[in-house]
């Protein structure tokens, strides 16, 4: 069959069967009809149809048995049951066995088309939901957090452990190090993964707005509060709340948040009745909270409630082994997004990238790679393009500039050796995956392994 959505029609009343077939075909559906239920079930194969419509009362194999056998072959396909005897008992039986809808005879063609459209839309939404869940799962899996440095590996080991335990986590680190990505990875690998992940930036809102956004308010609590409103904490019930820039919380909000963390309840602004919710709190800061506590600007009891487990993200300048991997990752992302085919960076550009301190961390690198790929017309990002966005002071270079062709060859060899060892270490020795991540072919990697005499024990230490 080709064309529109595919419908299997089963009804032993030949006249009604032909009428329904004509109505559905006129509306653009592909229809295959049967008047014998045994034949229909025997011919049915999983994923062949988008919808099944079957009468309930039929000789030999009745509609409920048809429903059961079809559902055993294909759990995905929705089934609409037709009956002239729509008793409550029959309807409950059909729905329990997996029917999507019941259609009572006699019915108008418009009603048939309406029910069919609803059933197919429901299936489409369910499929989109599954795809979205898979996309989120892939996006926030630990494998998608790029890096092979010892600092990042230590972080990920901690993240894996805390993800499954429902405890408060404080993520610290400089701006741009990926604190929200880690928070999302914790949520999407936790028992709360099917519930909401809500985030609020505590430093981006004025004090009065932050309090109402976080806890909500009752009608009449203040000028402009024309109706009750849920706060983000209540909306996140059952899921995870991520509080970014937690160091910017004003004192009155700190007090209310502390009560929630202790009692799992709070009150909306202007309310006298407490609201109880089940929310896991993950927070993040780039501030020195110890200094804030010493200065009396941060409650010590709140800090200890938030900081049950601390995860510190190292800055990019301490993850030099990860720089080539991250650059390759961002290049792949941009290629996928814009349909480009940039293969990587020239050796000179890679040397500059690895010598730079990246004060803006991962966020800065992602933006720089995007900017370079916008301007670059060759297959490799060149030094002339990259140096428009980052420069390295010669007095502070972490990688010395080569003074001769021999020095350059030696520097390049050292870089490629370290790059390949870290890359293969991150892929568990999988050369095919390493080639994909680096944008090389497998033959090139094998050739370089031989050239630099890199052995398996170099990248897979026991």
DSSP bridge partners of 172:
285, 312
415: tokens are 């870089």
Tell me how far CA of residue 407 lies from CA of 331, 377, 394, 397, 401, in angstroms: 28, 29, 17, 16, 9
Instruction: Give the whole-angstrom CA distance, residue 285 versus residue 246.
Output: 6
pLDDT at 268 over 50: yes
The length of the chain is: 462
Instruction: Give the whole-angstrom CA distance, residue 438 versus residue 423.
Output: 8
CATH T-level assignment (fold) for domain 142-314: Rossmann fold (3.40.50)
Q: Do residues 211 and 233 touch, judged by C-beta distance below 8 A? A: no
Question: Tell me, what's the pLDDT at 107?
Answer: 87
Per the prediction, the chain carries an average pLDDT of: 84
76-130 tens-digit pLDDT: 889 999 988 756 677 777 877 888 888 888 888 898 998 899 888 877 766 655 5
Question: Tell me, what's the pLDDT at 31?
Answer: 93
The DSSP secondary-structure symbol of 366 reads H
Number of neighbours of residue 280 by Cβ within 10 angstroms:
22
Element housing 265 (H / E)? strand 265-266
Phi, psi of 147 (to 5 degrees): 150, 155
Can you identify the CATH homologous superfamily of domain 6-135?
A: Response regulator (3.40.50.2300)
Question: Tell me, what's the pLDDT at 128?
Answer: 58
Radius of gyration from C-alpha coordinates of the chain: 30
Tell me the CA end-to-end span of the chain in Å, nearest whole number: 56
For the beta sheet containing 101-104, the strands, ordered from the edge strand earlier in sequence to the opposite edge, are: 30-34, 6-10, 51-55, 79-83, 101-104
50-83 tens-digit pLDDT: 999 999 888 888 889 999 899 888 888 899 999 8
Indicate where the chain has its CATH 1.10.8.60 domain(s).
Answer: 318-459
Tell me the H-state helices in 307-404: 323-338, 347-355, 361-375, 383-386
Question: Tell me, what's the pLDDT at 403?
Answer: 43
Interior CA angle at 98 toward 95 and 104, to 5°?
Answer: 45
Question: Tell me, what's the pLDDT at 136?
Answer: 46
Using a 10 angstrom Cβ sphere, with 0-12 exposed, 13-18 middle and 19 or more buried, the burial of residue 196 is middle
Indicate where the chain has its CATH 3.40.50.300 domain(s).
Answer: 142-314
Instruction: Give the whole-angstrom CA distance, residue 72 versus residue 176.
Output: 50
CATH of domain 318-459: 1.10.8.60
Please tell me the pTM assigned to this model. 0.58
pLDDT at 333 over 70: yes
Residue of 311 and 325 predicted with greater confidence: 311
Indicate where the chain has its CATH 3.40.50.2300 domain(s).
Answer: 6-135
201-240 tens-digit pLDDT: 988 888 778 888 899 888 888 877 788 888 899 999 999 9
Question: Tell me, what's the pLDDT at 143?
Answer: 56
143-162 tens-digit pLDDT: 567 777 778 888 888 988 99
For the residues of 213-272, what is the DSSP string, one character each? HHHEE-TTSSTT--S-EE-HHHHTTTSEEEEESGGG--HHHHHHHHHHHHHSEE--BT--
Question: Tell me, what's the pLDDT at 393?
Answer: 63
161-170 tens-digit pLDDT: 999 988 999 9
Mean predicted confidence (pLDDT) in 169-196: 91
Question: Tell me, what's the pLDDT at 455?
Answer: 86
pLDDT at 335 over 50: yes
Q: Do residues 304 and 283 touch, judged by C-beta distance below 8 A? A: no
The DSSP secondary-structure symbol of 190 reads S
3-state SS of the chain: helix, strand, coil percent to 5?
A: 50, 15, 35
Residue 461: pLDDT band by 50, 70, 90 thresholds? Answer: low
Interior CA angle at 185 toward 365 and 203, to 5°?
Answer: 65
The DSSP secondary-structure symbol of 400 reads P
259: tokens are 């009560």
Instruction: Give the whole-angstrom CA distance, residue 356 versus residue 392.
Output: 6
Instruction: Give the whole-angstrom CA distance, residue 159 versus residue 186.
Output: 6
Using a 10 angstrom Cβ sphere, with 0-12 exposed, 13-18 middle and 19 or more buried, the burial of residue 229 is middle
Instruction: Give the whole-angstrom CA distance, residue 250 versus residue 202.
Output: 9
SS3 at position 49: coil
Element housing 197 (H / E)? strand 197-201
pLDDT at 401 over 70: no
Instruction: Give the whole-angstrom CA distance, residue 370 versus residue 406.
Output: 33
Residue of 1 and 166 predicted with greater confidence: 166
Question: Tell me, what's the pLDDT at 20?
Answer: 92
Residues 6+ apart with CB under 8 A from 88: none
Instruction: Give the whole-angstrom CA distance, residue 13 versus residue 36.
Output: 10
Number of neighbours of residue 167 by Cβ within 10 angstroms:
11
Q: Comparing C-alpha atoms, which of 14, 50, 54, 57 is closest to residue 29?
A: 50
Instruction: Give the whole-angstrom CA distance, residue 198 versus residue 144.
Output: 21
296: tokens are 């009396």
**For the ranges 132-146, 282-296, 414-428, which has the lowest average pLDDT?**
132-146
For helices 361-375 and 323-338, the axis angle rounded to 10 degrees is 50
Question: Tell me, what's the pLDDT at 129?
Answer: 55
SS3 at position 353: helix
């Amino acid at each position: 069959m080709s064309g529109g959505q595919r419908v299997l029609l089963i009804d032993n009343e030949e006249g009604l069967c032909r009428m329904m077939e004509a109505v559905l075909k006129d509306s653009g559906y592909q229809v295959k009809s049967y008047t014998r239920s045994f034949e229909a079930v025997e011919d049915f194969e999983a994923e062949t149809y988008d919808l099944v419509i079957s009468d309930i009362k039929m000789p030999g194999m009745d509609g409920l048995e048809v429903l059961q056998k079809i559902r055993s072959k294909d759990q995905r396909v929705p089934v609409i049951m037709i009956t002239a005897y729509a008793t409550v008992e029959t309807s409950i039986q059909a729905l329990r066995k997996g029917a999507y809808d019941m259609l009572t005879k006699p019915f108008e063609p418009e009603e048939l088309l309406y029910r069919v459209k609803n059933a197919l839309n429901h299936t489409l939404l369910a499929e989109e939901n599954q795809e979205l869940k898979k996309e989120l799962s892939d996006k926030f899996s630990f494998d998608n957090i790029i890096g092979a440095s010892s600092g990042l590996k230590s972080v990920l080991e901690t993240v894996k452990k805390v993800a499954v335990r429902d405890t408060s986590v404080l993520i610290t680190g400089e701006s741009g190090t990926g604190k929200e990505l880690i928070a999302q990875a914790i949520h999407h690998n936790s028992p709360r993964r099917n519930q909401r992940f809500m985030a609020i930036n505590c430093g981006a809102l004025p004090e009065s707005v932050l309090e109402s956004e976080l806890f909500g308010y009752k009608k009449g609590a203040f000028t402009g509060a024309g109706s009750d409103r849920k706060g983000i904490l209540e909306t996140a019930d059952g899921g995870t709340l991520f509080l970014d820039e937690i160091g910017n919380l004003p004192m009155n909000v700190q007090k209310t948040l502390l009560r929630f963390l202790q009692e799992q309840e709070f009150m909306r602004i202007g309310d006298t009745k407490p609201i109880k919710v089940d929310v896991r709190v993950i927070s993040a800061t780039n501030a020195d909270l110890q200094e804030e506590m010493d200065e009396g600007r941060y409650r010590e009891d709140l800090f200890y409630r938030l900081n049950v487990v601390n995860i510190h993200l190292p800055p990019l300048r301490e993850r030099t082994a990860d720089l080539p991997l991250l650059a390759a990752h961002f290049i792949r992302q941009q290629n996928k997004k814009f349909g480009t085919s940039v293969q990587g960076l020239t050796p000179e550009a890679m040397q500059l990238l690895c010598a730079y301190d990246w004060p803006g961390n991962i966020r800065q690198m992602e933006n720089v790679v995007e900017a370079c790929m916008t301007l670059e017309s060759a297959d490799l990002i060149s030094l002339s393009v990259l140096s428009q966005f980052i420069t390295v002071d010669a007095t502070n270079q972490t990688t010395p500039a080569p003074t001769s062709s021999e020095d350059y060859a030696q520097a390049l060899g050292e870089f490629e050796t370290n790059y390949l060892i870290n890359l293969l270490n991150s892929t568990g020795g999988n050369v095919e995956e390493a080639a994909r991540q680096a944008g090389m072919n497998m033959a090139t990697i094998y050739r370089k392994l031989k050239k630099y005499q890199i052995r398996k024990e170099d990248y897979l230490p026991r």
